Amino acid sequence: MRIVSLTEQTKQNLLEDLLKRSPQNYGKFEEAVAGIVEDVRSRRDEAVFEYTDKFDHAKLHKGNIRVTQEEIEEAYEQVDSGLVEVIRKALVNIREYHEKQKRYSWFDSKPNGTMLGQKITALQRVGVYVPGGKAVYPSSVLMNIVPAKVAGVERIIMTTPCNPEGKVNPTTLVAAHEAGADEVYKVGGAQAIAALAFGTESIPKVDKIVGPGNIFVALAKKAVFGFVSIDSIAGPSEILVLADETANPRYVAADLLSQAEHDEMASAILITTSRELAERVSEQVDGFVRELSRREIIQSSLDNFGYILVAEDLKTAIDAANDIASEHLEIVTKNPFDVMTRIRNAGAIFIGEYSSEPLGDYFAGPNHVLPTNGTAKFFSPLNVDDFMKKSSIVYYSREALEEVHEDIERFAKSEQLTAHANSIHVRFEK
C-alpha cells in the first residue's frame, strides 16, 4: 500500500479522490435508468417481465414472479443447517439491539387546557431490495428487515434477482424467511425499484424502499425518491483504521482488506502516528493479498483508493478521520475510548483490536447499512426510526385559545395572511 505523510494538501487530495466514487457521479447512466423507471410505471408487469428477460435471462410471468412456500422449503433443504443456526443467533442480537431504539407516542397535557404531543406510526408497506448478482449478502437481508419488523411495519415486500431458471439464491430466501419478509418477488435491477415505487399488477406499491444495489439500483432509487421514501443512495464500501504504535500490524492489515475485497471502488485507509506501523502494515497487506481468493479485486481497490497516512500526532489523525467521515472506523490505539469521544463523524465505530469490522457486518447487532462517501457527517445508520413517521398532536380548549388568540392574529397579519388571522378571530366574535 502507498504510504503518504498526512498534510493538509494530502488530505484534500484524498478527499477529492474519494469523492470520485460518489453515486452522484453516475450521471452517464441516469438516462437509461430513467427510461426503465418510466417504462415500468406505464406498462407495469409487462415491462418488468421484459427487462427481467433482457438482463437476467429469466422468463417471468404472473404465475411465477412471487416466491412460493414450496420454494422456501426447498431453500432450507439446500442451505447448511449450521449456517441456519448462525443466522438465527445473529437475528437475536440484531433484534435486541434495534428494540432498544424504538420510540413511542407521547402527549403532554397542561392545566390551562392544552395538550401537545407526537403520534408515532409505523410505515404500512416497505420494500426491501436485495442484490443477487456477483455476490449474495444474506446479512443485508437481516439488517434491512429486522428494524422494519421491530418498528411494526405491516407488510414487508422483498425483491431480489433470480437466475435464468427462475430460482432465487437459497441462502437469501432462508434469511428472508427467518427475518420475517411477508412476500418475495424474483425481480432485480432498476425495474424492481420502479415496480416497488409505483406498483404493478403483481408487485404492490410500497411507502419506502431500502437496501443496497449496483449503480442502476442506486440511480433508480434516486429517480423514484419523492414518490416514495428511500434509505439512502449508497456508495462503495469503505474502512478507516485509526492506529498508533500499540496496534498489531497483522490485525490492521487484515481489517483493511476486509473492505477492499468488496469491489474495485472500495476504500481502505489507515491513519497512524507510527511510521514503523505503517511500513509493517504495508508488508502484511502484500502477504495477505497473495493468499486471498479475491486478490484481483483487492489489489485494484488498494491501487485506486488504498492509503496509509502517517500523521505527526494523534490530534491531526483524529481531525483527518472526522474530515473523511468513513463508513466504518476502527480505533486501535492505547486509549481507544478516549479517542472515541473525539470522533464526530463515522457510520459505525469499532473500539479495540478485538472489535473487527466484520463483527458488525454479521453478528454484533448494530445495523451494517451505513452512510458512505462522507455522508456520515449528516446521515445515520439504518435504524428503527427509518421505518416510522411522526404526526404532531395539537389540542386547545376555548379558554386556552382565548388567552393567546390576539397574539396569533397579530402574527398572521404581520405576514399579510388575513385568512389565517380570520380563522382564529371568528371564534371570538362579539
Cβ proximity of 33 and 223 under 8 Å: yes
Query: Which sign, positive or negative, has the C-alpha torsion 58, 62, 67, 70?
Result: negative
267 φ, ψ to 5°?
-120, 135
Cell for 393? 398532536
Residue 231: which of 344, 372, 35 has the closest Cα? 372
Residue 267 falls in which region: left (phi positive, over 0), alpha (psi -120 to 50) or beta? beta
DSSP-based three-state secondary structure for 201: coil
The catalytic position among 238, 261, 327, 353 is 327
Q: What DSSP character marks residue 415?
A: T
d(CA 240, CA 242): 6
Distance separating alpha carbons of residues 215 and 139, to the nearest angstrom:
20
Let me know: does 190 contact 164? Beta carbons within 8 Å.
no
User: Is 328 considered catalytic here?
Assistant: yes
CA angle in degrees (0–180, nearest 5) for 143-160-30: 100
DSSP-assigned states of every residue in 286-322: HHHHHHSTTHHHHHHHHHHHEEEEE-SSHHHHHHHHH
Catalytic residue among 98, 177, 262, 328: 328
Phi and psi of 206, rounded to 5°? Answer: -115, 175
C-beta pairs of 347-350 under 8 Å, 24+ apart in sequence: 347/371, 347/372, 347/376, 347/379, 347/381, 348/381
Contact 116, 108 (CB under 8 A): yes
Residue keyed to cell 434516486? 222
Residues annotated catalytic, as ranges: 327-328
